[in-house]
């Protein structure tokens, strides 16, 4: 099994910053893509940012220039640095990890979600 644990969410004022972290553990052989998604009330879950093992990133247009996704391959961790936060960034943020686990089986795991609220 593969487990993801997220941290770093909270309440922040508009214009503020937060850093989300996600750690993957369990029977992991290798990790390919790591990503962050978010889901606001009444809306579908959407991709915020993704990063490959080699460090290539992609971002939703709404967060480009404000959010930075990075990873630590040695520690099986992925981060999301969020700057210049706006009220519309309010959502539950989920970590998503794709890779290979022992037995050479593919896995696609989700974290439990962490709430980010941007409000004055």
Give the model's pLDDT for residue 57: 98
- Express as a percent the part of the chain with pLDDT over 90: 98
Sign of torsion over alpha carbons 66, 72, 8, 59: positive
Torsion, Cα 51 111 76 22, to 10 degrees, reads 80
Angle at 5 between CA 116 and CA 96, to 5 degrees: 75
CA Rg value for the chain = 14
Res. 101 pLDDT band, cuts 50 70 90: very high
User: Model confidence over 4-41: pLDDT tens digits?
Assistant: 999 999 999 999 999 999 999 999 999 999 999 999 99
Q: What is the widest separation between alpha-carbon atoms in the chain?
A: 49
Q: Which two tokens stand for residue 24?
A: 């993957």
User: Coil, strand or helix: which one is 82?
Assistant: strand
């Amino acid at each position: 099994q593969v487990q993801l644990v997220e941290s770093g969410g909270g309440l922040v004022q508009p214009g503020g910053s937060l850093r989300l972290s996600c750690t993957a553990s369990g029977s992991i052989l290798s990790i390919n893509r790591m990503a962050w998604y978010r889901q606001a009330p009444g809306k579908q879950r959407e991709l915020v940012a993704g990063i490959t093992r080699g460090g290539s990133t992609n971002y939703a247009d709404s967060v480009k220039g404000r959010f930075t996704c990075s990873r630590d391959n040695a520690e099986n961790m992925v981060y999301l640095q969020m700057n210049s936060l706006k009220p519309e960034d309010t959502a539950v943020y989920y970590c998503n990890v794709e890779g290979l686990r022992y037995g050479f089986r593919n896995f696609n795991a989700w974290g439990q979600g962490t709430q980010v609220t941007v409000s004055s």
